[in-house]
Structure 1
Amino acid sequence: MIKKLTAKTQELNPKLPQYSNSFSKCVIIKPETQELLLKKGTVYSVFDVSGESNFDTELVIKVINDVINNLYFQSESISPIQSMEKAIVETKEKVLQLSNDTLTSNPQSINLNMITAVLWGSVLYIIKFGGAKGYLMKNGEISPLEMISEGNFSTASKVVDEDEVLILATEHFERSFPPERLLATSIGEGDLDPNQACLLMRLIIDTTFSDNEVVDFGLGDAVSKNKNRVRVEKLTSIIEDASRWILKSIKKVCGVFVALGKLLADAISKVLPRRKAVLLTRSISQLSGKGGTKTKSWLPLSLMSISLAFLVFFILRSTVLKSTNKENMERKNTGQQTVETSTKEVVNTETEDKSKDEQYKIKRVSPEVFYDLKITDQSVEPSEIEIVGDKVVIVDKITGKIYVSDISTPNFKLGVNTFPGIKSLASSEDLLSFNDNEGYKTYSIKNSTVISSYKVEGLSLTFPYAGFIYSVSSDILSKNTEKDGKLDGVVWAQSPDFVDAKSMSIAYSIYILKKDGNLVNYSGGSKTSFAINGLEKPLSDPSKVSTNIDFEYIYIADKGNEAIVVIDNKGNVVKQYKYEDSSTWSDIKSIAISSDEKTIFVLNSSKIYKLNIEN
């Protein structure tokens, strides 16, 4: 029977500020189910991050938790080492993405160091990335962990016993508190610098695991992976050395025979006249003709044997090293990875004139990154955001996917349903309303179910208001009611303003963003004289207008001017919010406003910013 161990832990963490350019943390991650716990074990990790940027410490810690949960515990690989290596590579990429939000001039200068232990049954796996320290204490003796290094990774695996103590620490911690001092000193968080963290693990028998229970942890080849790798490397080295020696010996032998033949020819030419030499040569040929068959067959056979030996060597070499070389290449490339999304973002090198900020009611802000949806789904192309009750909802128009998170704590998860073409999001009675390729729908975020669905062709915009559903198709704005399971509509207004309009919102009157970027207002079926007053520059490629009957103001995502514009119902500018560095909000796709109008969620590219405001 394989005995299952667990660990009593002590975390030595520094007190972290909200933002820091160098910090560390201990992380312990257990899977959500007992089944995953038996299959994947528990993850114990210590990391430190440093660079030119000021990171949001809580966000980075959350990202690391999310990545390990998503990649390690959901991985199909039987090897904890291989699964964790992939999770660490993805973690490094996500940290680089977050560094881009802080506008570092050189994202590659960001350093991530991490040492992770996976306790799986009675086997301990250690995976180290970059610089970190690990020690094992057994029977009172402390020794460094013996690990095999490949590229930026170092790994080890061993069967452990109860009462052994594992020490995982950042390099900065180990310099100040080496193991001997650590075990004899009381350390509080006030004694630690932000980049000093340490995790102590004492291994004990898991009493929740029955003595009569036998669990196949599926260790198999995974337990001996490192030993096999060493054997392969040694075998390869021996074969390569032998082949070099054989080639060298053959060259020497051939050289000797060539030299002897030349000397013999010179001697014969000097001793014998030309005629006799010819006769002697013929005599030798005649004598050798009797055994010529053996001589001629011996030489090709030797050459074939040597060729066959080399062929076997190269086949063996390519077969044995194929997977190893592939892993090595992946690991060597880890430290040189670039983040694709950072190269796509537009960088504005011009310095914006801020002297007129007060005149045009511009407020410079630096809101926190609430989440990057690429963490949940690397392939996502988010298109719109909305708040429904206490949830933040983001959709991908192309794939029709829906992502949902609590409004207070970022934890986006993919919904079970997809609605290709989803757009024109709105919230009504805690339901999400939208139109997609099929027509108009209302959807329960809480239960992940479609509440109502109406097949309508050619919808471009929809908005529920006062028991009606207003919709735009081509140049017609209709006012619809439900009748016999269908939408029964009447033409409310008709205008070229509605053709290819971008966004619509309703609060007593109807606000529509035209395709040219102008905001127009309709009331009682007619266009009003509404106009925006107080902007230095007109709206430029705005992506969304948002308001409702309970809002005091109207909010516009002004993508081209990289701003969130707030106006009253007369069109007067109340406030403009711009990021402190104007290049950050270069791709504002959508906005969502909380019901109390104290928070604006800004969807910029794949990232969600949470802006706290006071109107």
Structure 2
Amino acid sequence: MADEISISVAKVVANPTASSWSQAYNAGKLFAVLSLEKKSPEEKREDYLSTQGKEIIEGLEQEFFTLETKDLPSIKTAFEATTKKIPEDLSISFVVASIVKNVIYIFSQGPCRVNIKRADELGTLLEEDEEGKISAISGMIKNEDLLILQTRGFKDLVSSKILISSLDHQSASDIAETIAPIIHGEEGQGGASAIIFELKFAEEEPLILEKITDGTSLSSQKRFSINLKNFLASIRSRINISSFRKIPHTRRLFLTITIVVALVLISTIYLSIKSRNDAKVRALFESVYPNASKKYDEGQSLLSLNKNLARDSFKEAYNTLNENKSKFPKDSKEEKQILSLFDKTSKALLQASGIESAEAKEVNESSSPLLSSELKNPSSSYFVKSDEKIYFLKKDGVVSEDLNGENQEILIKISELPKNIGGFGVYFGNFYILDKDSGQIYKFVESEEEYSKTNYFPKDSSPNLSKAQSIAIDGSIWILSSDGSISKYTKGKSDNLNISGLDKPLSNPSRIFTDADSDNVYILDNGNLRIVVSDKNGGYKSQYQTNLLKNAKDFEVKEAGKKIYILSGNKIYQIDLK
């Protein structure tokens, strides 16, 4: 029954304030309202509440949409796992509802209210006033039920009396329009939000008794039609009209009746087979299209919130349609609908995957002094740029040169460097060199006319850096390993980074890039012919693909100028950031 429910959704959300924020959320048959308020007037960054709110919603998505079985215990576990991550300095009002088949499960934490309008009666399913309390209820849903999930701020502003007058024979969107002026007219109440959704059950379609098996051909209708025409033509060609007229009247009448009965029988068989084939086509269509359409719609609703989950939904829809699109009669209305949805899903999947087929054009060496220096010093390695200097590792040690390639100077002798280097970076004039053998990163700090050497990791910490390929520094140190793993350390301690959302693992990656001025992290993934972009929390954002990345040696990103420069085959290329 759940797949046959049509849901109309409307939201009412107050304008955020410095101390309170709220949101109403919907993806498929998952609904939520959330409000956050600061417990103390302690100064936080301006987007603190909205950032925390977004992380809570994303956490709910990850917990909910990865459940194999959705029932009261499993959804409650997902809800509790989400709420455990909420900072203690926030006061929360959180309500989540999920429809599974013909049952609705509702969970809450903190003060809130959930109302239901059934027929002409308004009832209260759940109302809490206690801070931090977690509650859970479930029940059967019925046709034309209308539910309203409300945060504390909303229930404080909108009384039951106001709700009753607003619900009088109105749709979800009309109810939201009626209530919105009350919410937006109250200054300082940023924690008021509600989601209103109305359920309508589709009418039952005639039951199709014949089961469709995988691989069944549905084109026999056309073949039978052709055979029937040939058969009738064959009969007509064999009847000699002049001879027929010579047959005695009684026999001729009997023969006529026999032919008419035969034609009626043939027509009946033809119509029966056609009806069976039509039923098969329709049954297959109903087993494919609604499920694929549901996943497509689910992906669209997730697209602005979590591209990774959106991509998973689009991929399910794509696979379902791709496996079945060839099973429908050519040019039938069912095939046209399937192909139309398949085309939309394919485009949406590309959009959610953030895959850009990059056009790389060759540019002058002056476009990237960093990569130009690599071309001029082919026997050197690990080139980095800081301020007005370029630094790299040469057989003599750590070398600096001007952006124009002149005035080379040895800063640290080779005898002071480890033998098996797996990364080199510069941050605020200090050099960081990764030693793959000892599992240590050495920090070289300039003091008077020489550089003093210290350990980045404390004595009780020695991570395995034997596969390190490259490092990047933005205050934290990012380490890329040859097996595709990425680690992040801040002040010598692991940040337990988890790279998520990749459509396929990194293959033979060689370089990682970020800095204090960049919002994102960039990985040169040679094996997959791409540059992968993630945010600094490890969440996948996009990727740029071009064949010349297979042999790329290094790259440089200039986010402000929206350019990526690539060194490949002794030439420098440029691709544009979207």
Tell me the TM-score normalised to structure 2 length.
0.39
Structure number with bigger Rg: 1
Tell me the TM-score normalised to structure 1 length.
0.37
